[in-house]
Amino acid sequence: MTNTTPASVAMLKVIEAWGVKHIFGYPGGSFNSTMSALEQEKERLQYIQVRHEQVGALAAAADAKLTGKIAVTFGSAGPGATNLLTGLYDAREDHAPVLALIGQVPHDKMNYNFFQEFDENPIFADVSCYCRTVMTPESLPYVVDKAIREAYKHRGVAVVIIPNDFGYVQIPDVPYKSSSPTDNKPQPEPAATDEEVDQVLAMVKAAKRPVIHVGRGIKNGGDQLIELSKKLQIPLIMTGLTKGLLSEDYEGNLGPVNRAGSKAANEIMDIADLVIALGTDFPFANNVYTRHDFKFIQVDHDEAQFGRHHYLDLGVWADATQFVNKMLERSQPQPASAFFQAAVADQKNWQAYLKKLATRRTNPLEFEPVYNELNRIANDRTVVSLDVGDNTINLLRYMNVKPTNKWVVSALFASMGAGIPGAIAGALSFPDRQVVSISGDGAFSMVMQDLITEKKYHLPILNIVTSNTTLGFIRDEQADIPGMHDYSGIDLEDQDFVKIAEGMGVEGVTVTKSDDLKAAFDQAAAVLAAGRPFVINAKITLKRGFPVEALKVAIKDGRVVETVDPAFNANDVEHHVDDLQGLFDYYDGEELKPLQHFLDKAQVTL
C-alpha cells in the first residue's frame, strides 16, 4: 500500500529538493494548509516571518540576486497576495528566479464572491513567466516543480495559486521533484566567431576614441577585460551593476556613466566615436546614448536585446567573457593612446576630489564621511543591501566594492524599501559574512517595522540610515525644473530611528558630526560581532552630490566645449550657476578641471 502525505507537505519537499533553505511570508487564513506543512517541515525548511508581504517578496528577490538560486515567498488571498507585487516586479526586472505561492479560498468556495476571493491569475499574469492555479491536490507538487523550472529557464517570477483546502488532502507520498545533478551544469553560451571579432577589431582600429560600456554580463571576466583594455588602450565605462566586477584600482576603469556616475565617464562617453556595449542592459540609454552620434557595437548573449537601446552598426551574439577572450586571442597590442591617457588623467582628477570630500571632517555631518567609515570597518566579503535614492549615487561613488564582495539593489524597478529586505536575505544566505543595509530616511521608514525580523532571527545586520528629513533624490530633480517656485511633497517629518529601534530591542546610535562616526561604527562592529543587529542614524545635510548630469559636452572646431545645463538649479529656490568653473567652485571642487584640460595635456586632437 502506498504511503500518503498532505499535498502541501509534498509541495514543500519539492521546494526543499531544489535546495531552498528558507521561505519568506506572512500567514493568512487562505494559506493555512501550507502553514501547517511548514510546521511539519520546520527542521528542513525555515519559515521567515516578515511583517509585510512586500518585505517578503523583496527579500526573496534579493536572495535570488545574491545567490543565483530560486527563492520563495508567499502571500494569502486578497491583500496578502497584492502586497507581493512590488517585490515580484523587482525580481522580474532584475531577472531573478523567484517562486511566489499565492493563497486562494477553498476550491468549493471559488466563484461565490467568498471572503477575500478574487481572480488572482490576471493580477499576476504580467509579472510572471509562469502563472497557474492548481486544479487538483495531486497536481500541487507537480505544478510547483514545474514553476521552479520555468523560473530558472526564464530568470523570472513563477506564480502558483493554491486553493487552501487542497493542501490538506492526502496524496501518494512519492518523489514529485524533477531536480537532478544535471541542473548544476553551466548553460551553454553563444560564442563569437573569428569573423565577428575581426570585424570588431577593424572598427576599433578605424576609431579614434573607442570606449567599452561594460554590463554585468561580464560576470567573472573582469580580469580578462582589464587585460584587453590595456592591450587595445580602450577606456572602460561601467553600468552601475558592474560595480565590484572589475577592480576599481585599474586606472582605465572610469566608473559609471549618467547621474550616478563619474565626471570622467560622462565626459569621455560624450566624445567617444565608437561604443562597444558589452553584456549591458542600460536603462538610461535615452539619456546618454542620444547626446551625440557614434558607431555602436552590441555584444549580448540574448539576441533579442539587439537594438533595444541604440541602433546597431554591428551585433555580436556571444557571451561577454567569451567575446573578450576571443578579442585577446586575435588582437595585437596597440601603442600608448593619448586618448586613453587623457581619460585616465580625467578619472584620477575626479577620484582625488571624491577622496577629499570623504576624508574631511564636517559639522554638521555630510554624507561622504559616512561611506569613508563604512569602508574602514567593511571587509572584502561584506554583503551590502542598498536602498533606492541618493545612496544609489553615493555607494557607486564612495564605497569600495571588490569582486569578492556581494551587493544588491532594486536596480531596474528601483523600489524604495528594498534595503532591509535585501539585508535579511543576505544574512540568512551568508551567515558567515558581515551584512550592511544602507537606506535614506524615506526608504527606511517604509519597511522599518522589519527591524523586528532582524531581532527575531538573530541577524547581525548593520542598518545605516542617512537621515535628512527629505526625499533627496527627488529634491535634486525638482531643483532642475525651470519655473518651479518651491519644492513639492518631499519634506519628511523627522523621526528618532534609534528610539524606534530600541523599542524593538535593537541597539543604535545617532550621529550628527563626522568626529563621532568612528566611535559609532566601532560600536556597530562590536554589536554585529556579538550576533545582534544595530542601527546608525546618520543625520546628514541636504547637500547635493556633484551633479555630473549638469555637464554638457560638445565638440566644436576640433575642441571640446563644456558648459553647464541651463536647467541646473533653475527653480526659484536654489543658487543658479551658469559657468563651468562656477559649478566646480559651488561643489568645493576647485581642483576639478574641464575635459579639454586633459586632452591638451595628452595632446589629443579631435
- Pure H helices in 430-573: 441-447, 451-456, 472-479, 497-503, 517-529
Please give the backbone phi and psi of residue 542, each rounded to the nearest 5 degrees, phi first.
-85, 5
Helix axes 517-529, 367-377, angle to 10 degrees: 40
**102, 388, 408, 560: which one is catalytic?**
388
Residue 155 annotated to the active site: no
- Known active-site residue 562: no
Catalytic residue among 303, 477, 502, 590: 477
In the residue annotation, 339 being an active-site residue is answered as no
C-beta atoms surrounding 371 within 10 Å: 24
The DSSP code sequence of 285-350 is HHHHGGGS--EEEEEES-GGGTTSSS--SEEEES-HHHHHHHHHHH--PPPPPHHHHHHHHHHHHH
Active site residue 464: no
Find the farthest-apart pair of alpha carbons in the chain and give their distance in angstroms, rounded: 89
Sheet holding 98-104, edge to edge: 46-49, 22-25, 71-75, 98-104, 157-163, 130-133
E-strand ranges in 164-205 read 170-172
How far apart CA 421 and CA 318 sit, in angstroms, is: 34
Q: Which of 169, 377, 474, 481 is catalytic?
A: 474
Q: Answer yes or no: 388 catalytic.
A: yes
Q: Specify whether 115 is catalytic.
A: yes
Contacts of 126 (CB under 8 A, 6+ apart): none
Residues 6+ apart with CB under 8 A from 151: 70, 97, 98, 99, 129, 130, 157, 158
Spatial separation of the C-alpha atoms in residues 84 and 62, rounded to whole Å: 14
Residue 205: C-alpha distances to residues 40, 102, 233, 234, 273 (Å): 65, 55, 11, 11, 12
DSSP H helices in 51-161? 53-67, 79-82, 85-93, 120-125, 140-154
Please, are residues 572 and 483 in contact by the beta-carbon 8 Å criterion?
yes
Contact 378/387 with Cβ under 8 angstroms?
no
What's the CA gap between 320 and 327, in Å, rounded? 11
Active site residue 118: no
CA distance 256 to 280: 12
Is 53 labeled as catalytic in the residue annotation? yes
* Exposed / middle / buried, residue 293 (Cβ in 10 Å: 0-12, 13-18, 19+): exposed
Residue type, 394: N
Q: 461 by DSSP, 3-state: which?
A: strand
Cell numbers for 211, please give them: 570606449
Annotated active-site residue in 40, 46, 49, 116: 116
Catalytic site residues?
53, 115-116, 259, 388, 473-474, 477
